[in-house]
């Protein structure tokens, strides 16, 4: 049976685990998988939060532009002359537009705060995953070092066995 190359060096293939009773096994692998999954979830939540902030900023920009256009139009109409009731109506509309812009800015501030909290959650999840990965990598390095020593010891024993009966020259 041919061994398939393993995509992750710390996870031997099923075949190598069956043939090698001392194959590397990270005891916290299930926890590491959970941390990776949790980090991915937090990353997705962060992306959603960032999209919501961008969407709110776009809406606020549009509201500000709409208010600017309306004020320009009002200035032109004032130059041409308008009666008091029309002016009162336009000023009421402007106050409504100003409230909309202010509400947009408040929403941006709230969404930005949520995004920053989510960023902190993501960084914490990322840090927890990296801690486990570093632990796994150190254990893997120690395992490989031990395996290399054992292999060298076996080679030394074979050499001594083969050359034990021969006189030295």
Contact 42, 121 (CB under 8 A): yes
Band of residue 124 on the pLDDT scale cut at 50, 70, 90? very high
Report the phi/psi class of residue 81: left, alpha or beta, with left for phi > 0 and alpha for psi in -120 to 50: left
Question: What pLDDT is attached to residue 20?
Answer: 59
Q: pLDDT tens for residues 57-90? A: 999 999 999 999 999 999 998 889 888 998 899 9
Q: pLDDT higher for 97 or 168?
A: 97
Q: Which residue has the tokens 């590397």?
A: 24
5 φ/ψ angles, rounded to the nearest 5 degrees: -65, 140
Question: What pLDDT is attached to residue 8?
Answer: 55
Question: What pLDDT is attached to residue 15?
Answer: 46
Q: Which residue has the tokens 């309306």?
A: 70
Question: What pLDDT is attached to residue 17?
Answer: 46
| Domains, the chain, with CATH or none | 25-156 (1.10.287)
Find the mean pLDDT for residues 3-9.
51
Question: What are the angstrom distances between the C-alpha of 32 and each of 71, 120, 142?
Answer: 58, 20, 19
DSSP 8-state code for residue 11: S
Long-range contacts of 137-140 (CB under 8 A, 24+ apart): 137/10, 139/24, 139/26, 140/9, 140/10, 140/24, 140/26
Sign of the alpha-carbon torsion through 60, 64, 67, 73: negative
């Amino acid at each position: 049976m041919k061994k398939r190359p393993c995509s992750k060096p710390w996870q031997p293939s099923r075949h190598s685990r069956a043939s090698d009773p001392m194959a590397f096994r990270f005891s916290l692998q299930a926890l590491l998988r959970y941390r990776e999954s949790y980090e991915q979830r937090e990353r997705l939540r962060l992306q959603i939060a960032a999209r919501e902030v961008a969407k709110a900023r776009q809406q606020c920009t549009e509201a500000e532009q709409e208010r600017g256009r309306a004020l320009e139009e009002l200035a032109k109409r004032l130059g041409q002359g308008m009666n008091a009731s029309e002016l009162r109506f336009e000023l009421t509309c402007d106050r409504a537009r100003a409230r909309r812009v202010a509400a947009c800015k408040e929403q941006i501030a709230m969404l930005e705060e949520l995004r920053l909290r989510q960023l902190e959650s993501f960084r914490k999840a990322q840090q927890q995953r990296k801690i486990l990965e570093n632990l796994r990598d150190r254990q893997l390095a120690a395992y490989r070092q031990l395996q290399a020593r054992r292999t060298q010891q076996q080679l030394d024993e074979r050499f001594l066995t083969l050359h034990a009966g021969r006189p030295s020259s």
